[in-house]
A = this chain, B = another copy of it.
Amino acid sequence: MNPFKPWQTRIDAFLKDFLDQQQQSAICSRLEAAIRYTLLAGGKRIRPLLAYATADSLNIDRAQVDNLAGAIEMIHAYSLIHDDLPAMDNDDLRRGQATCHIRFDEATAILAGDALQALAFQLLSQTPAEARKVVKLISNLATACGVHGMAGGQSLDLRSENKNIKLEQLQAIHSAKTGALLVACVTMVTSLCDHLNHHQISAYHQFAEHFGMAFQIVDDILDVTGNTEQLGKTAGADENRHKSTYPSLLGLEHAQEKAQYHIQSAKNFLQQTNQKNPTLIQLTEYILIRSH
């Protein structure tokens, strides 16, 4: 039983509605189809869940958070399309279906990713909030997904293949590649809130960093322990590409301990927010459950 099903349904419906609106003025049906194919393929929707759970913790109406949750998921979807390209990770399978460039073609996949990034900022610019807060959201997302965040991290990650890297380097890669966007899920929501003090904002931020670390370590573990059917993507892909991962650097058991450590740290910081966070706690524990 998945306790987050209603929120997954919510974001799925929201994204579908938004794409339906866009389609009325579509100019290239193949590009639209590729975007729809990727964005509506399901997935765990961890990023929107994290945003919704943070909103719950702060008594922010979920309707205020739909746009940012949707925008973050679009950025995530575009990054998967581009990461899967032959020039990058060269993956054929994602979320249990053929990757975008396999189902369509490489040019369409590149453009679908590009268009999704633009759509994310278009959606975010329509957030129902004060303009100064909307500008802050946009600045936060742009920084998280650009050269200092996701794109920079992916570039570092590709350059570390077939190399022996140290644990600190692996952490730096993941902190940029996946951590920055996960942190943005939390900080974008806290920036909508007027009544948080500096200490609380910092506690949410540090919670999100540990959440991101735990999430990535579990993802690395699943690549070793899971099978392709469970994962919906090719199992063992990291090892095939000679990529350093937490299990390869620490061993499986120590990697699992490290995930547990970050989950505990995440929960400790949640306590320091002085807010009631039952769903954030539940979501944090849900990450670890995935690894068993």
Contact = CB atoms under 8 A, between A and B. Distances in A.
Interface of A: 22, 25-28, 30-32, 35, 78-79, 82, 85, 87-88, 105-108, 110-111, 113-115, 117-119, 121-122, 124-126, 130-132, 134-135, 138-139, 141-143, 145-149, 151-156, 158-159, 172, 176
7 contacts: A27-B172, A87-B107, A88-B107, A113-B114, A118-B147, A131-B132, A135-B138
Contacts of A124: 138
A179 B253 CA distance: 57
A216 to B, nearest CB: 16
B146 A118 contact: yes
Q: Is the interface of A mostly helix, strand, loop or mixed?
A: helix
| Copies, count | 2
B111 A155 contact: yes
A174 to B, nearest CB: 12
Given A28-B156, A110-B87, A119 B135 contact: no
A151 B88 contact: no
A45 B35 CA distance: 31
Contacts of A87: 105-107, 110
A119 B141 CA distance: 10
Contacts of A176: 27
Contacts of A145: 118
Nearest to A125: B139
B27 A154 contact: no
A51 B31 CA distance: 29
B113 A125 contact: no
Contact of A122 (B85, B134, B139, B158): B139
Contacts of A131: 130-132, 134-135
A159 B119 contact: no
Given A110-B88, A122-B143, A125-B138, A156 B115 contact: no
Nearest to A137: B125
A134 to B, nearest CB: 5
B139 A135 contact: no
Nearest to A133: B131
Contact of A151 (B105, B111, B141): B111
A121 B147 contact: no
A83 to B, nearest CB: 9
